Homo-oligomer: A and B are copies of this chain.
Amino acid sequence: MPVPTIEWVDGRIRLIDQTLLPNEFKQIYCDDVESVWEAIKSLRVRGAPAIGIAGALGAVLGIWRSAATSYVDFAAELKKITDYLATSRPTAVNLFWALDRIKKTAEKHKALGTTQLKQVLLDEAQQIIEEDREMCRAIGQHGLELLHSGDTILTHCNAGGLATSDYGTALAVMFTAHEAGKNIHVYADETRPLLQGARLTTWELMQAGIDVTLICDNMAAQVMKEGKIQCVIVGADRIAANGDTANKIGTYNVAILAKEHGIPFYVAAPTSTLDFSLENGDLIPIEQRGAAEITEGFGTRTAPEGVKVYSPAFDVTPARLITAIITDGGIVRPPYEMSLKTLASEPSTGVD
């Protein structure tokens, strides 16, 4: 991204308000932890890695003006802040991971004075951003071998630069292939209800000069049937120990369609998305969103008043539908129980 998705600027957090894209490009400032919470909740900042960064910077912002002089008071305050931020997106494992990392860093440096400790936590948050940047590049490099000149890729939602601090995850593979001179084309699912594909993915790809075509989510099967798609690449919000993957609602749909048409289905995600505490995807909690995102999402009411709505924010794609997972540590393939464990035990290439 030419402009950082989210960054620390003089004691405040500046982020691109993604709810306004593509009609308006606007950066907003968060001055307190409540506005960070709201920005995550309202999807002004979204995408697993970017939410992690927002959480880390948000925790620093929350503690930045703390008057605590003892570590005990500081730690208690920090815990309150991180517990609060953790409620903004209950499915985002990167959020919990980043908040935990900030808390552990504080614990590790408890001997320091609180003023110095604040700076250490900010450095740690900046380190998360730097690692995220390296992670994006590593995913892009590893995924490169899967794309060939002339390929058309289908993607769902936005796993791009706006979802991270840099190149994205799923889109990192496309950006890297494009930079490597491979002639690729992308079909982007619009991704109802909040249209991250229509609003963000097409915008990012067009900015990068990659040929992109927008479709409605329900057109994916037809496009596949016409032989237009060589592979699917999507991001991930959380991956269980067996490879089951939680991602934006509709991902599971696409995975089934890809299987039916014999098309490889790839997940691109950082190692930090792995959650070995979950044996399988059935244990991943599914966030439910409000009805208005569906019934009045386009500035007009598009369903009768009082209609019942069911709106899961995520679904879980079973590992058996996933051809490979492109991580910053390399490409892993089934059986995932083994390959993910091996990946996690190998020396990291940027992500702790």
Given contacts A249-B218, A253-B221, A310-B214, contact A298 B300 (CB under 8 A): yes
**Chain B residues with CB below 8 A from A212, complex form:** 307-308
Which single member of B216, B259, B286 contacts A193 (CB below 8 Å)? B216
Q: Mark A305-322, 1 if CB is under 8 A from B, else 0.
A: 111111110010000000
**Chain B residues with CB below 8 A from A298, complex form:** 297-300, 302
B192 touches A190 (CB 8 A): yes
Closest to A253 in B: B221
Given contacts A192-B217, A214-B294, A294-B216, contact A303 B202 (CB under 8 A): yes
**Chain B residues with CB below 8 A from A252, complex form:** 221-222, 225
Q: Mark A269-289, 1 if CB is under 8 A from B, else 0.
A: 000000000000000001000
A206 touches B307 (CB 8 A): yes
A342 to B266, CA, bound (A): 46
Interface: A341 (CB within 8 A): no
Closest to A314 in B: B222
Interface: A227 (CB within 8 A): no
Interface: A301 (CB within 8 A): yes
Given contacts A221-B252, A252-B225, contact A203 B311 (CB under 8 A): no
Q: Given A193-B216, A198-B295, A225-B252, list of 10 further CB < 8 A pairs?
A: A187-B310, A198-B294, A216-B217, A218-B249, A218-B253, A222-B312, A256-B256, A298-B300, A298-B302, A299-B299
Please list the 3 inter-chain residue pairs (A to B) with the smallest Cβ-Cβ separation, ordered nearest first.
Answer: A218-B250, A298-B298, A192-B216
